[in-house]
Amino acid sequence: MRAAGRDALRATVVDAAGEILAKEGPAGLTMRRLAAALGCTTTVLYTMFASKQGLIDAMYREAFDRLTARMRAIPRDAPPAERLRLGGLAYRENALSSPQLYQLTFGAAAPEHTPGPEARAAAEASLEPLIGIVQACIDAGLFRPEDPRFIAQVLTAAAHGAVSLELSHYFWSQAEAEQRYATLCAAAAQAFAR
């Protein structure tokens, strides 16, 4: 199978598994249940993932790979402040486009799962584009010269809090959620302003 076809199949399986996880919880996500939903055999799934833990690791990696791809799509030639704003939007859009995968990555969907080394590496790699944006903000004199990884982690924590509230339907409307998210991200960035 060609790499593009294999990647597309993997994404389809991961998304279907995410739907089951969101609707039925960790106990409902079995290889047999997933095979039935996809109309394939469990042999196909075990060949792809080896085990349920392998499947959950693949879901975890896919979630962070999607975030990394969105962050890397931000134009590098845009002004640093605009790149930072676009990074915040990319984080939110990523979470809202696959809430089941987003919740998996932060432990809410499968709290008993401990990600393997490749999954943890994907999580770590997802922060690198934001670290680069933060460094550009420091270089442009927008942020104080502090550790860019620390700043990126704080900005991510702020974004995560607002997105988590939105996913739990805390806000009354989409417009309210967007406004609260933008305000919180701006306030977090302002904490590091020169």
Predicted confidence (pLDDT) per residue in 157-178, tens digit: 999 999 999 999 999 999 999 9
Report the C-alpha gap between 185 and 154 in whole angstroms: 10
The chain-wide mean pLDDT, for the chain, equals 91
Q: Please tell me the predicted confidence (pLDDT) of residue 10.
A: 87
Q: Please tell me the predicted confidence (pLDDT) of residue 69.
A: 96
Q: Please tell me the predicted confidence (pLDDT) of residue 103.
A: 85
- Superfamily (CATH) of domain 3-190: Tetracycline Repressor, domain 2 (1.10.357.10)
**In this structure, what is the dihedral angle of CA atoms 77, 78, 79, 81, given to the nearest 10 degrees?**
-130
Q: How many CB atoms within 10 Å of residue 135?
A: 17
Q: Are 155 and 186 in contact (CB under 8 A)?
A: no
Angle between helices 148-167 and 117-139 (to 10 degrees): 110
- Domain boundaries of the chain, sorted by first residue: 3-190
Percent residues over pLDDT 90 in the chain: 72
Give pTM, 2 decimals: 0.88
pLDDT score of 143 more than 70:
yes
Token couple for 97: 């486009």
